[in-house]
Chains A and B, each alone.
Chain A
Amino acid sequence: MSATDTVPMAPEGQIASAITDEEVIRLINVNKWYGEFHVLKDVNLSVRRGERIVICGPSGSGKSTLIRCINRLEQHQEGEIIVNGTTLDSNVKNIEAIRSDVGMVFQSFNLFPHLTVLENCTLAPMWVRKRPLDEAADVAMKYLERVRIPEQAHKYPGQLSGGQQQRVAIARSLCMNPNIMLFDEPTSALDPEMISEVLDVMVELAASGMTMLVVTHEMAFARKVADRVIFMDQGEIVEENAPDEFFANPRVDRSRLFLSQILAH
């Protein structure tokens, strides 16, 4: 757990990183098929505690599939995935334990519409971690304050704007006190003026030293917080690079083409 001196000097405007040596996620030659369709091809990846990784790539390249394999919302067929030291296999107890330590934020928020914001946040701590109600509610209020919506605690998700809902979703994940957070395009269902309020929360989270894997097209965010950018195409990791290198001087022609397309407008 020793903090090491492998931490690179933070470039201008970037948030200092707190990477340690401890490896929390490791993917070894992971392959996955949807029927006959080969979505993930020999994916290898290692994530250390405190590392912030941004995954980008064209639509259909397998980004969502990759991060959903990490908490086994999708099942891989070949290779090995190790999260927090546990190998993912069909052992349900292990999967549930890993999921409770790995938060996930979805593109479509997926808040539970029949529960209030506060109940959304206390549900898993109470039923998975067996916390008493008042303790869970205290923790939930703390995180709702952190995402700056404590006043909405007693409303229902349907009464909130998209940006507020996504912040609740982030708070809900944080209430489980996870050591890894997965984000699958958290801002792409939002109107432009709401994107920044969500990104601000994510930047703060990054600054607090959380291990994060973020699938996003927000390149400014990637520049600001990422320790590493991963570019995927057709189920493969095409390029892994430091963000400033990746944006200024991508190594692979495919990444160059992708960047020119998304930065063109």
Chain B
Amino acid sequence: MATDNTQPGQDAAIVFEPKQSRSAPVASVGVIGWLRENLFYSWFSTIVTVVVAWGMFEGAAYLYDWGVTKAVFEAESRRQCLNTSPDGACWAGIIDWMNGFMYGRYPDEEQWRINLGGVLLIAWVLPFWLPNLKGKIGIGMSAVMVYPFLAAYLFLGGERGVFLNLMVFLAITLLVLNWVHVVLFYLTGRTLTENLVRMTGFEHRPETTHKYPMLALVAVVWGCVYAWLGDWQLELVRTNLWGGLFLTIVIAGVAIVSALPGGVALALARRSTMPVIRVFAITFIELFRSVPLITVLFMAVTMMPLFLPEDFQLNKLVQVMIGVCLFAAAYMAEVVRGGLQAIPNGQYEAAKAMGLSYWKMMNLVILPQALKLMIPNIVGNFMGLLKDTTLVSIIGLYDMLNMLKAVGQNPIWIGLHKEPLVFGAAIYFVLCFAMSKYSQRLERTIGQGNTGR
């Protein structure tokens, strides 16, 4: 524009001509540029770089030597390992004890139940990753509310009470229906409920009656499952036999699943305007946060039975789980509260001004935004929980850490301490790293609309 603005009779304006862009100097781009800028920008940084690189190389070389080149993979005992290669790792012991690391002292012939529990869990949550699927909330709810009963029975076995009977068959029913829903959805583009409503001719009835065909279907499938599996029973495996990674994941899983709802409830209670609720929440949170987890665990195991009636004795694992859950909820509460505080007041006001009730405001407007902000902290908390469960080894549960330590006391593998711990570290690293990566992905995919507020 500026160049055309000269009008006749006026002095010609100075014409602006932009300079041509030149390409950047070679030394500042590409690999060489990056190296120069970050690693070798002064003689001091050059020395640091060289020393650190040399240290890292030596360390890696030593580890490779110890763990791969000189390692022994097949041996009968530690003695044999040492005879074969005195300064290599003795992985033979790890391989020999692998079953113990994974399942503890769970009987060999019953271990398929644990594997089945894992497979069912995967089958349950798999639909979450399917694109464009409707009704994921229902699937998620059933996974959190019903699957644990099925898993608990699979792992524990024994007699089923009336309630457990109901829940186990309900779980199987819902798992089947979840997949029927998924298949139908991709075939017809409609949810299971919508299909049912059409098939039964309920579509012309009022909307409130639309749930009846679905309920009827659940009842029918439940009946079929019951008729088919009604007298099926698994052998009882007492919880003192549970152990290894399996036990670690069960404790951490229960804590993780209960921490979020518990934490949200406590955080909301702490922000409540009702003094009784607020004081209770503050007391609970501060109490549990100021006590180390190991103390909570000891309290749970030694003190809790004192408060319970004589004939109602819980086993150690349940006591530990209750302790860990309360502890986790207290920590999570503060994470959630931090997230809630980051939501501007205007969001609360806008939601209220539309006539939303407190719970709708929280569920539809505040928590979805707050949870997204909290993902890094929540996942950090989960990782902490997973690692903290190693503390249950101190009160005599055979979680993975305890199994790892037990190898070195075994007469055949006596003195084998380093390798199990390296192996355990690798397992924990894989689990935590996976969580961390997944959380980063969640952050990117959830609520992509939150650009700029």
Contact = CB atoms under 8 A, between A and B. Distances in A.
A106 B350 contact: yes
B207 interface: yes
Given A106-B349, A113-B369, A96 B355 contact: yes
A99 B355 contact: yes
B2 interface: no
A249 interface: no
A126 B354 CA distance: 11
Contacts of B353: 71, 73, 99, 102-104
Interface in B193-245: 207
B349 A176 contact: no
Interface string A155-193: 011110000000001001100100000000000000000
B447 A114 contact: yes
Contacts of B369: 112-114
Interface stretch (B7-15, B171-179, B360-368, B398-406): B360-368
Contact of A123 (B349, B354, B447, B451): B354
A132 B368 CA distance: 22
Interface in B347-390: 347, 349-357, 360, 364-365, 368-369, 372
A124 B355 contact: yes
B449 A157 contact: yes
Interface in B425-453: 447-453
A123 B351 CA distance: 10
B451 A159 contact: yes
B446 to A, nearest CB: 9
Contacts of B411: none
B352 A73 contact: yes
Nearest to B361: A127
Interface residues of A, number: 34
B453 A113 contact: yes
Contacts of B452: 158
A123 B363 CA distance: 12
A241 interface: no
B354 A158 contact: no
A127 B450 contact: no
A211 interface: no
Contacts of A111: 350
Given A113-B449, A113-B450, A73 B360 contact: no
A115 interface: yes
A45 interface: no
Contacts of A71: 353
B346 interface: yes
Interface of A: 71, 73, 92, 96-104, 106, 108, 110-116, 123-124, 127-128, 132, 156-159, 169, 172-173, 176
Interface of B: 207, 344, 346-347, 349-357, 360, 364-365, 368-369, 372, 447-453
